């Protein structure tokens, strides 16, 4: 599964790079929340936006955040490929955009209950995003975005005597604020 996702990302980068040489590279902070998170929090990440036309482009991004429960800590890396539709308004300084895409969510769980192990399967999901960017100069953009992510999880909980597989939805929201640089 990981090899397939990486292949898709490489193809998206290649096609977009050939389509138009200019790209935006940047970083972001993230506020992550949702009913399926035990303790919402702050995260960070980076993104590459590869325009195909003036209005259409791909964004490849990664956001890392942590969810903590009483005896469980989960580091989550959300990798997303988003097809963005955008338009420039107000003297070409304000960019409004929306997008849909696929997400790959990687989980690294730590359990602090003696005798138990928890394995959470990495999963593919879907997301929708809407945001706005303001160009401070022709090469520097500040942006804010809301993203909703829908996926399912499968966790395996083991001890010496028992093994249980738990399947459940894992939906969350990300508010990203960051900066992009045009190249």
Q: Can you give the residue ranges of every domain in the chain?
A: 2-182
Q: Quickly name the fold that domain 2-182 has.
A: Porin (2.40.160)
* pLDDT one digit per residue (tens) for the chain, 183 residues: 555 555 555 555 555 454 445 899 999 999 999 888 888 789 999 999 999 998 999 999 999 999 887 777 889 999 999 999 999 888 889 999 999 999 999 988 877 778 888 888 888 999 999 999 999 999 999 999 999 999 988 888 888 888 888 888 889 999 999 999 998
Nearest to 44 by CA among 25, 65, 60: 65
Q: pLDDT at position 97, please? A: 96
Q: pLDDT at position 92, please? A: 85
Q: Tell me how long the chain is.
A: 183
pTM, two decimals, is 0.83
Phi and psi at 12, nearest 5°, equal -60, -45
Q: pLDDT at position 1, please? A: 53
Residue given tokens 């990440």 in the structure block: 45
Q: pLDDT at position 19, please? A: 47
Q: pLDDT at position 69, please? A: 78
């Amino acid at each position: 599964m990981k090899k397939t996702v990486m292949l898709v990302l490489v193809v998206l980068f290649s096609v977009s790079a050939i389509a138009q040489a200019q790209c935006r590279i940047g970083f972001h902070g993230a506020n992550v929340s949702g009913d399926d998170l035990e303790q919402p929090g702050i995260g960070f990440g980076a993104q590459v936006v590869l325009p195909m036309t003036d209005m259409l482009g791909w964004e490849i991004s990664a956001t890392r955040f942590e969810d903590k429960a009483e005896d469980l800590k989960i580091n989550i890396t959300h990798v997303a490929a988003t097809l963005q539709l955008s338009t420039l308004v107000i003297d070409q300084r304000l960019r409004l955009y929306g997008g849909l895409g696929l997400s790959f969510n990687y989980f690294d769980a730590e359990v602090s209950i003696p005798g138990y192990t928890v394995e959470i399967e990495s999963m593919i999901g879907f997301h929708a995003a809407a945001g706005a960017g303001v160009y401070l100069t022709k090469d520097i953009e500040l942006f804010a975005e809301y993203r909703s992510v829908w996926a399912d999880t499968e966790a395996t909980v083991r001890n010496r005597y028992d093994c249980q597989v738990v399947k459940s939805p894992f939906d969350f929201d990300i508010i990203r604020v960051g900066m992009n640089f045009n190249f």
